[in-house]
Structure 1
Amino acid sequence: MNKFPVKSHNHNLITMMLFCLAALFAPTSYANADNTASPVGINIRDLRYWGTEIPTVDFFKRAGNGENGLWLTQCKWIQGVNCWNTHEQAQLDLDQDGWPRSLPTADASAQYRFVSTILAMSTDTLHPGKYPAGRWTVLYDGEGSLSYGWDAVRNAAASTQGSDVFDIATPHSGFFISIIATDPNQTGNYLRNIRVIPPGGTCNRDPFSFAADVSDCPDSYRAFTETYQTEPFYPLFLNDLRPFSAIRYVRFTDVINDQTIHWQDRPKLSNISWGYSSTLKAGGAPIEVALDIANSLDASPWLEIPARADDDYVSQFAQLAKARLTTTRPIYLEYYNEAWNSNYPYGVNGDWIKQQGIARWPTSSASDFTKQINWFGMRSKEICAIWKREFADQPGRVRCVMGAQAANSWVADQALSCPLHAAEAGGTACDTVAGIDAIAIAPYIGGHVANPVLQNQIESSWFTQPDEGLSKLFEEITQGGVLTPPTNQANMAMPSLPVIKSWVTANKSVADRHNVALVAYEGGNELGAARSNDAYQIKLNALTNQANRDLRMGEAYTTMLDDWKAAGGDLFMVFESTAAYSMNGNSSLLEWQGQPASQSPKYAAVTDFISINPCWWDGCEALPVTYKLTVTKLGGGTVTSNLAGINCGSDCTEEYASGALVTLTASPDSGSTFTGWSGGNCPKTGNCTLSMTAAQDVSATFKAVASDFAVTSLSLIPAAPSANGIFKVRVTIKNQGKVSANGGQLTVWANQPNVQACSAKGGKSITVGTLRPGTQKILTVTDLSADKAGHKRLRVFIDSACALSESNEINNQLVKAYTVR
């Protein structure tokens, strides 16, 4: 049975590393109008030091040693020893997260003396050094010494404890970091939690807005060193993905190689590496990071369940997605990836699926492959049921996808029918009856061109042309018939545009019979998957690289998407985002992060298609992301908003679009005063402005004002009393409050410099009586005794028993200096 198409991936450079992140950024959905009605999604790459896609600001997330590990064990020159990597990783003294706690002493038997890891390496000779030039910051915990190599030069003058600095003048080869000493005082304070932050930042608090330096936006610039924890994704990465309505993570989370069974064994945020696994069970980025990328782009996440995951894993994955996702987009859910594909590495987990099918139906006369596809269909059905049960309160949120094979529509029909399972007691078909919403195929053009069996034809009829076969190549992929299969492989797939159009039509017929949609989990071209590294394949790869940079390739992509739409297909997930062209492939839309669309015919064609083809299937257009603002009002007053909605009083909750700036104003009722806000990071008083990037709860407190009595003036009669004589005091008081009230007692002390407490003794008191709001009264206190001659301080206290609740308690006392003659 033909298993075409087959994709080739590089498995010699599995990398990546680091970083114990105790509390990840709060997931937030940002307003993204560019993908609201986009009919196209995209597959993103994995985190690798040699990758030209830059998902995270922190470059240590992509660290690796180039040999399926993290640390290089290194030494200075020793005769006969490979000091670049002595391969003594088993002797490393690592903590539970993978940080070296110690290094060998000078007299140790080990050959290595320090460790290193690579953070960037250029593999593209045409476009080397696609990472920023300038001043980089290395943040770390602990004590020790770091050094840097290749393009990176340490800046000792700018470095301080806990913050190293290195400069890259001209990006070209790459750079690595070395731990050359750690925990020098042997206190256990070894180097750890290393973060490597590039130069640059963002403007206007916009995570999509890249700024090379402060000169790009002097008034709103924020450096990456300030924002990497709360805005961890590189702005050019987000911006390149902005037009796409869905993000697929098959490579980012490395589901193809993932053999995890139990939830607790999955990659975690606390792992030292987000791309490399020290076991054969689980590698790739943590699920949380995938979900947060979807939140940041307000895009649908296309999530894959590892082949061997048990039901608890599936259920906890669903619970995490439900709790963490802030985007309201649909979730596309797929079990594994290409279960039908027997080629490495797909076939490792694919064979495990086959064994499950053989064990379940041991007496069936069906072929092993048929049992494999039936078990795959059954397991897809079970996983779908678990997720839809977890999302029962959000009907339609989860779209369950059954992966199929573009070139062989039998796979889709067999998986959806799953007749071996349907014949069991209690069994059913695995299609829409079981909750499956779509079948997914991968329409690729040109995957046959690199097949060695066509070498003679290409060398004789293509390489001899003036353009060395470029026009012939485009004729082959757009029309077909230029190349012919060998006589002993008459059924060899030759996927030109007309051929894949027929495959789409056949799979759409299967989808219609089962009442499910047809989507594309991948699609594009597979011209560059070289089968060897000989001179012929190198020359052919150069030709296909040239073709992928040709305007005619953009035209081919447009035709492919037009044909897909005409056939009635729904979401199309193009493969893939950003990667340098190499012998391992040249399918990516962009060759480096931030490459202008004018230099990439494929990216330009796909984004142009998006702009003129709003999605066409029912319910496809994204609903605006909104968040609820809830105001709680305590006391007498009203809270209103500058945007229509809040008038609390009566309307105290409102939904606002993501990113909206809402200003709340508190207005006290007569007889009340506004005492302050709580929640929402509001200031204590004044207006409160909220950025609606999440649900917000704010309280406004008003306090009833009974009165506000104040002593406004006082005078002595006579102004300078005689020693041991009698004098009187004339006092003016005012009710500055908003309601009538009785002022209680007015107390006067002939000589009292200190502020008096409530009901203080020793003075002479008279009754004040009731005053209306805004009125004043003049009272006279007589028969006060002057002491001996000298300087004195007269104190007057209104409401001296503190019987009233006042809005201002500090204006009730007044003091006046006078002299006794």
Structure 2
Amino acid sequence: MKTSPFKLKNYFIFFSVGIVLFSSLLPGLYNRVNAWLFPHLPEITLSQNSNSNPNNDDSPLGINLSGIAPWSSQLPFLNYFKSSQAWITQCTNSDPGCQGEWNTKEQDILDLDEQGWVKSLPAPEDSPKYTRVSSLLLRGIPNHFPSGQYLVLYDGEGTIEYSLSAKKDEDASTPGRDVINVDASQSGGVLVTITATDPNKTGNYLRNIRVIYAEDEPLYRSGELFNTAFLERIKNFRSLRFMDWMGTNHSKQKEWKNRPTPDMASYGVKGVPLEVMVALTNKVQADPWFNMPHMATDEYMRNFARSVKESLDRDLKIYVEFSNEVWNWQFKQTHYALEEGQKRWGKDKKDAFRQWYGMRTAQMCDIWKDVFADQKDRVTCVVATQVGWKGSEKDILDCPYWVAEGNKACYQHQIGAYAIAGYFGASLGHPENVSKVESWLKEGDGGFQKAFQQLKTGKLLSEGRPDSLPQVKELFSYHAEVAKEKGLKLMAYEGGQHIVGRKDVVNNEQLTEFFIELNRRPEMYELYSQLFQDWKAVGGTMFMHFVDVAKPTKWGSWGALEYVDQSESPKYDALMDFMTENSCWWEGC
């Protein structure tokens, strides 16, 4: 005799309720039952709905993605904890020898697993000062993420507390699933604090913490990784440059076994995993632009290339660059390149950093082309140079020290693109120009007319590098000739406005506010449009704007948009309109 579907359904309901009630009586069992009834979906699905996106098939522009940080207004992930701060070690006034420090700075002695989760905490009587750890997220971006209910999902046993903009709803929370109410109008952010973990010493420590806006839970459980608003903002761009997502500047990555993986606690510590970057490019059908870490071994680069070949949509192409600006002395990679170059060619070789960079770019390209042997055309190796230092590219492209060892010139190792920066406006923030620019602020319009006159003509200021639009176009023309001579395509790895205080000017609050407002002015649309037209006129190919979404600060107004919930601005509108009105114009695009 068959049992009716109605009875089967009732049996399942009674059975499920019984298990949940029973499990609530046994410490630790709830998590296991909840995992059985409502299994956690994998954090990463490489297919990620790789739908065709005709909007970017013929686009001439790409975009750099802003770095991952708790204060970033990009908000790319549904799981906000992936953008959280590295653990802060803390203690309370009741702990011996503690004055309630916000940060005891004992991160080096944290007991972490391979993914960065805290396995144990010291007791108050132990020698370390800290007795708890905290992480910050959604900090400093008030009213640019939703207020309301958030879910904190986690595995393991322990105690998590919430403060600043968040308050726990005790009645709605259950083991493994806390409900917190977040006030987005506050700027402090959400502080997640672990005060106890693995209390029964069974190894079941708190881990896999996820913070999700409650209304997004169905989307997250469907396997989606990315914030819908973020996807909408970037979907029209031809390529996504992952330089900041990979933590390229000052990178500590070297061995493939130590690379960031999808189950890392936060992607703001070691960088975004390759699997997540591939999932994003597959999702929006944009070509990825990867930056190999400056200390990466050949094995690292080979395995990276293999993983891309295996997981990236076959319709997508790849741009690969060795590190970033290996001539910029602000970055550790430049100092490393000089040290390695002089080890190889002699301490007296002051230009060794450029030649070593050219050599490693060539070696990187050889590796990638070998991995993609049957699909070489999919990979474009990029070599870059400092745009304003004419002639310095010769060391990089020709690399005579390496050639003297019996190798071909660096640019002849299957490299396909020669890249420069395409910035304008840096002279406004030059220390020698402070008094002049400050005098403009006293004029009736607040100085905006004079500032735009300088950006358009370059005739009002004399200090700083040549960076008005006509001067930038002249630099474009020079490098277009270099690219043509070497048989390479000219690209812009970064570009846009560069209006920010330099050196001590960064702390000039009056000029900082002026620079921020200057970026918001409607006249910026015209400047951006002219920049791209000039680029097209000299024969440049893909231009990568810097960056997608970033809130303005004294460190710069780099974002085309200031916040991910913003849908338009003069700079962003100029990017969108140029892509709409100009299909890519170069051969093979």
- TM-score tier by shorter-chain length is 0.7 to 0.9
Partner of 1:289: 276
The answer (yes or no) to whether the contact 1:413–1:510 under 8 Å persists in 2 is no
For the structure 1 residues 295 and 529, does the alpha-carbon distance in structure 2 shift closer, same or farther, using more than 3 Å as the test?
A: farther
- State the identity as a percent: 35
For the structure 1 residues 562 and 155, does the alpha-carbon distance in structure 2 shift closer, same or farther, using more than 3 Å as the test?
A: same
Return the match for 2:215 from 200, 215, 218: 200
Partner of 1:428: 408
The answer (yes or no) to whether the contact 1:59–1:195 under 8 Å persists in 2 is yes
- Aligned runs of 1:248-327 on 2, under 5 Å? 248-276=241-269, 283-326=270-313
Partner of 1:521: 493
For the structure 1 residues 374 and 26, does the alpha-carbon distance in structure 2 shift closer, same or farther, using more than 3 Å as the test?
A: closer
Q: Secondary structure at the match of 2:251?
A: coil
Please give the alpha-carbon distance, in whole angstroms, between the structure 2 residues aligned to 1:458 and 1:23: 50
Residues 498-545 of structure 1: per-residue CA shift (max 9 Å, x gap): 11100000000001111111000000011024533776x211110010
Partner of 2:45: 25
Q: Secondary structure at the match of 1:368?
A: coil
Please give the alpha-carbon distance, in whole angstroms, between the structure 2 residues aligned to 1:341 and 1:377: 15
Partner of 1:618: 587
Q: Secondary structure at the match of 1:130?
A: coil
The answer (yes or no) to whether the contact 1:57–1:233 under 8 Å persists in 2 is yes
Partner of 2:523: 552
Please give the alpha-carbon distance, in whole angstroms, between the structure 2 residues aligned to 1:23 and 1:574: 29
Q: Secondary structure at the match of 1:409?
A: coil
The one-letter code matched in structure 1 to 2:374 is D
The answer (yes or no) to whether the contact 2:64–2:544 under 8 Å persists in 1 is yes
For the structure 1 residues 549 and 312, does the alpha-carbon distance in structure 2 shift closer, same or farther, using more than 3 Å as the test?
A: same
The answer (yes or no) to whether the contact 2:417–2:491 under 8 Å persists in 1 is yes
Please give the alpha-carbon distance, in whole angstroms, between the structure 1 residues aligned to 2:534 and 2:525: 14
For the structure 1 residues 30 and 530, does the alpha-carbon distance in structure 2 shift closer, same or farther, using more than 3 Å as the test?
A: farther
The answer (yes or no) to whether the contact 1:197–1:224 under 8 Å persists in 2 is no
Length-normalised TM-score, structure 2: 0.88
The one-letter code matched in structure 2 to 1:184 is P
The answer (yes or no) to whether the contact 1:198–1:224 under 8 Å persists in 2 is no
Return the match for 2:221 from 210, 219, 226: 226
Partner of 2:577: 608
Please give the alpha-carbon distance, in whole angstroms, between the structure 1 residues aligned to 2:563 and 2:441: 29
Please give the alpha-carbon distance, in whole angstroms, between the structure 2 residues aligned to 1:466 and 1:58: 47
The answer (yes or no) to whether the contact 1:140–1:162 under 8 Å persists in 2 is yes
For the structure 1 residues 336 and 80, does the alpha-carbon distance in structure 2 shift closer, same or farther, using more than 3 Å as the test?
A: closer
The one-letter code matched in structure 2 to 1:240 is R
Partner of 2:339: 355
Partner of 1:575: 546
Higher helix share: 2
Residues 16-40 of structure 1: per-residue CA shift (max 9 Å, x gap): xxxx997632333222121111100
Return the match for 1:493 from 445, 465, 472: 465
Return the match for 1:50 from 59, 67, 71: 71
Length-normalised TM-score, structure 1: 0.64
Please give the alpha-carbon distance, in whole angstroms, between the structure 1 residues aligned to 2:530 and 2:482: 23
Partner of 1:468: 446
For the structure 1 residues 349 and 585, does the alpha-carbon distance in structure 2 shift closer, same or farther, using more than 3 Å as the test?
A: same
Question: Greater RCO between the two (CA within 8 Å, min separation 6)?
Answer: 2
Q: Secondary structure at the match of 2:419?
A: strand
The answer (yes or no) to whether the contact 1:523–1:573 under 8 Å persists in 2 is yes
Q: Secondary structure at the match of 1:456?
A: helix
Please give the alpha-carbon distance, in whole angstroms, between the structure 2 residues aligned to 1:21 and 1:423: 55
2:172 matched to 1:172? Answer: no
Return the match for 2:92 from 72, 75, 97: 75
Residues 34-85 of structure 1: per-residue CA shift (max 9 Å, x gap): 1111100000012110110111111111111xxxx42332325679714322
Please give the alpha-carbon distance, in whole angstroms, between the structure 2 residues aligned to 1:190 and 1:501: 58
Please give the alpha-carbon distance, in whole angstroms, between the structure 2 residues aligned to 1:358 and 1:96: 35
For the structure 1 residues 104 and 357, does the alpha-carbon distance in structure 2 shift closer, same or farther, using more than 3 Å as the test?
A: closer
For the structure 1 residues 612 and 395, does the alpha-carbon distance in structure 2 shift closer, same or farther, using more than 3 Å as the test?
A: same
The answer (yes or no) to whether the contact 1:315–1:386 under 8 Å persists in 2 is yes
Residues 745-766 of structure 1: per-residue CA shift (max 9 Å, x gap): xxxxxxxxxxxxxxxxxxxxxx
Please give the alpha-carbon distance, in whole angstroms, between the structure 1 residues aligned to 2:299 and 2:462: 50
Q: Tell me by how many angstroms 1:115 deviates.
A: 2.2
Q: Tell me by how many angstroms 1:421 deviates.
A: 2.7
The one-letter code matched in structure 1 to 2:339 is Q
The answer (yes or no) to whether the contact 2:73–2:563 under 8 Å persists in 1 is yes
2:153 matched to 1:184? Answer: no
Q: Secondary structure at the match of 2:428?
A: coil
Please give the alpha-carbon distance, in whole angstroms, between the structure 1 residues aligned to 2:322 and 2:495: 18
Q: Tell me by how many angstroms 1:471 deviates.
A: 1.3
The one-letter code matched in structure 1 to 2:268 is G
Partner of 1:331: 318
2:501 matched to 1:483? Answer: no
The one-letter code matched in structure 1 to 2:59 is S
The answer (yes or no) to whether the contact 2:93–2:100 under 8 Å persists in 1 is no
Partner of 1:373: 354
Partner of 1:62: 83
The answer (yes or no) to whether the contact 2:115–2:264 under 8 Å persists in 1 is yes
Please give the alpha-carbon distance, in whole angstroms, between the structure 2 residues aligned to 1:120 and 1:362: 49
Q: Tell me by how many angstroms 1:248 deviates.
A: 0.4
For the structure 1 residues 353 and 134, does the alpha-carbon distance in structure 2 shift closer, same or farther, using more than 3 Å as the test?
A: same
The one-letter code matched in structure 1 to 2:99 is V
2:439 matched to 1:444? Answer: no
Q: Secondary structure at the match of 1:332?
A: strand
Please give the alpha-carbon distance, in whole angstroms, between the structure 1 residues aligned to 2:584 and 2:522: 25
Please give the alpha-carbon distance, in whole angstroms, between the structure 2 residues aligned to 1:415 and 1:533: 33
Please give the alpha-carbon distance, in whole angstroms, between the structure 2 residues aligned to 1:380 and 1:453: 37
For the structure 1 residues 80 and 329, does the alpha-carbon distance in structure 2 shift closer, same or farther, using more than 3 Å as the test?
A: closer
Count of residue pairs brought into register by the alignment: 547
For the structure 1 residues 525 and 141, does the alpha-carbon distance in structure 2 shift closer, same or farther, using more than 3 Å as the test?
A: same
Partner of 2:6: none
2:133 matched to 1:115? Answer: yes
For the structure 1 residues 180 and 466, does the alpha-carbon distance in structure 2 shift closer, same or farther, using more than 3 Å as the test?
A: same
Q: Secondary structure at the match of 1:557?
A: helix
Q: Secondary structure at the match of 2:551?
A: coil
The answer (yes or no) to whether the contact 1:530–1:541 under 8 Å persists in 2 is no
Please give the alpha-carbon distance, in whole angstroms, between the structure 2 residues aligned to 1:134 and 1:419: 61
The one-letter code matched in structure 2 to 1:446 is G
Please give the alpha-carbon distance, in whole angstroms, between the structure 1 residues aligned to 2:447 and 2:100: 44
The answer (yes or no) to whether the contact 2:506–2:555 under 8 Å persists in 1 is no
- For structure 2, the residue ranges without an aligned partner over 5 or more in a row are 1-39
Partner of 1:708: none
Higher strand share: 1
